[in-house]
Amino acid sequence: MRLVASALTNSDGRCDAPLLQGDDYRSGVYQIQFHAGDYYRARGVQLAEPAFLDVVVLRFGISQEQEHYHVPLLISPYAYSTYRGS
């Protein structure tokens, strides 16, 4: 499994640049950690301690190196969903 380097999202909740490029973009199993608790706390959202969702871990596979992979996370303090976007 390969860990993706850390990145911050912009005000729209997106990364300004791809997380993987060049020689780093190859087939394999990857993991992204979304620090949802920190995100909500920084915005003044009152969360229980411990937060129901603090760090959301997504593990996914890349099988086609030439294809575009978009991994969105739709989240609230109590639920999330993800899918392979276009």
- Provide the pLDDT confidence category of residue 21 given band limits of 50, 70 and 90: confident
- Provide the pLDDT confidence category of residue 50 given band limits of 50, 70 and 90: very high
Whether the Cβ atoms of residue 19 and residue 32 lie closer than 8 Å to each other: yes
In this prediction, residue 4 carries a pLDDT of: 60
User: Is pLDDT at 2 greater than 70 in this prediction?
Assistant: no
CATH of the domain at 69: 2.60.40.180
Which bin fits 24, alpha (ψ -120 to 50), beta or left (φ > 0)? Answer: alpha
In this prediction, residue 23 carries a pLDDT of: 86
Q: In the chain, what percentage of residues exceed pLDDT 90?
A: 57
Structural domains counted in the chain: 1
Domain that includes residue 53, residue range: 2-82
- Provide the pLDDT confidence category of residue 3 given band limits of 50, 70 and 90: low
